[in-house]
Amino acid sequence: MKTLSKQHPKEGIWLTQTKRPQCGHNDVLIKIQKTAICGTDIHIYKWDEWAQKTIPHGMTVGHEFVGTIAEVGAEVRGFKIGDRVSGEGHITCGHCRNCRAGRRHLCRTTLGVGVNRPGAFAEYLAIPASNAFKIPDDISSDMAAIFDPFGNATHTALSFDLVGEDVLITGAGPIGAMAAAIAKHVGARNVVITDVNDYRLSLAKQLGATRTVNVMNESLKDVMGELHMTEGFDVGLEMSGNGSAFESMLENLNHGGKIAMLGIPSSDTRIDWNQVIFKGLTIKGIYGREMYETWYKMVAMLQSGLDISPIITHHFSINQFQEGFDAMLSGKSGKVILDW
């Protein structure tokens, strides 16, 4: 079968042939229809320090996908051939305390599809059946292909009550822009989103942000004045991984404010603990998606009118994968879909 994999220890990704994976007793084998390119895939493409440390030679990459079930393992219940599914790219151990308590996103020994084990940029993917998620008929395959990052946005945005609140999102990448749409959908008042990239801010605007701010040429304080926000933001969603964005979030949150932190900062990022302590802030780290509360919430929000479709800006066939990666690398894209 065809796969996109990391064949050489340098920048790039390669379309190659490999053997179809085996479907274990507890697995489902999925015939992939569509995949989407994640920021993680770009780290692997660029072969940065993290990728060099983490990705084994020849690894099939990718973890954002939708497909149909082609084979069902002998022990599997609840799935049948032909079911349309997406799935969790975090494979958890199943026997640690958190897994057993149903908090699988907090498993201590998570393995990543397309990072630590063969991924979804392939004609077929085998994963544990408990990681597959059935997609209702009224949800498009394009949407289902991006449930992984949409799930990051959902997990983060729904971490704190947003009804009637003023929300600051730092970073209008695909995940930040989707979070803006979610925050508006669930009833936030002002959703202000920052970035340094105007293309991305315009996508966030299209998705429903109240106000976008390019921090290179506008001050967040001025925007808060314009919106008559005298006390500060109630909730912050950090989605840039940028230290100065996080610093401005700390500065502009009201006392008692809450922060859900998804963006991954560099190890030398400093934090002004005085802001945290004297303002009584709550900071919650967010990893992945809740299994499977987040997945049910995504379905429910789409079925109740949430429209995040403008976040998909590009479609390519798998043979044009290089154009897809180039679109992601340009910074002028939302989600990029590759059709298999």
Q: Which residues are catalytic?
A: 40, 43
In whole angstroms, what is the distance from residue 8 CA to residue 318 CA? Answer: 19
96 in a known ligand binding site: yes
Give the nearest distance from C-beta 256 to ligand NAD in angstroms. 23
29 in a known ligand binding site: no
Residue 93's CB is within 10 A of a number of other CB atoms, namely 14
* 92 lies in the binding site for Zn ion (CB under 5 A): yes
Give the nearest distance from C-beta 71 to ligand NAD in angstroms. 29
- Cα 177 to the center of its chain, rounded Å: 11
With b for 16 or more beta-carbon neighbours within 10 A and e for fewer, the 100-135 pattern comes to eeeebbbbeebebbbbebbbbbbbbbbbbbbbbbeb
Q: Of the candidates 227, 277, 234, 228, which has an alpha carbon nearest to the alpha carbon of residue 259? A: 234
Give the nearest distance from C-beta 295 to Zn ion in angstroms. 18
From the list ligand NAD, Zn ion, none, partner contacted by residue 96 (C-beta under 5 to 8 A by kind): Zn ion
286 in a known ligand binding site: yes
In 227-320, where does DSSP find H-type helix? 243-252, 273-278, 293-303
Give the nearest distance from C-beta 332 to ligand NAD in angstroms. 11
From the list Zn ion, ligand NAD, none, partner contacted by residue 99 (C-beta under 5 to 8 A by kind): Zn ion
57 in a known ligand binding site: no
Q: Of the candidates 174, 179, 247, which has an alpha carbon nearest to the alpha carbon of residue 215? A: 247
With b for 16 or more beta-carbon neighbours within 10 A and e for fewer, the 139-155 pattern comes to bebbbbbbbbbbbbbbb
Helical packing angle, 321-329 and 39-46, nearest 10°: 100
From the list Zn ion, ligand NAD, none, partner contacted by residue 92 (C-beta under 5 to 8 A by kind): Zn ion
Helical packing angle, 174-185 and 147-157, nearest 10°: 50
Nearer to ligand NAD, 69 or 183 (CB): 183
From the list ligand NAD, Zn ion, none, partner contacted by residue 239 (C-beta under 5 to 8 A by kind): ligand NAD
In whole angstroms, what is the distance from residue 31 CA to residue 277 CA? Answer: 51
> Maximum Cα–Cα distance for the chain, whole Å?
62
Q: What is the DSSP string of 241-265?
A: --HHHHHHHHHHEEEEEEEEE-S--
Stretch binding Zn ion (CB under 5 A), from 88-96, 119-127, 188-196, 281-289:
88-96
Give the nearest distance from C-beta 127 to ligand NAD in angstroms. 18
* 224 lies in the binding site for Zn ion (CB under 5 A): no
From the list ligand NAD, Zn ion, none, partner contacted by residue 41 (C-beta under 5 to 8 A by kind): none
* 93 lies in the binding site for Zn ion (CB under 5 A): yes
Stretch binding Zn ion (CB under 5 A), from 101-109, 127-135, 136-144, 153-161:
101-109
* 329 lies in the binding site for Zn ion (CB under 5 A): no
User: Which residues here bind ligand NAD, judged by CB under 6 A?
Assistant: 39, 152, 170-176, 194-197, 200, 215, 239-242, 244-245, 262-264, 286-288
Binding residues for NAD(+) are 175, 195, 200, 262-264, 286-287
Binding residues are 38, 63-64, 93, 96, 99, 107, 175, 195, 200, 262-264, 286-287
The residue ranges that bind Zn ion (CB under 5 A) are 92-93, 96, 99, 107
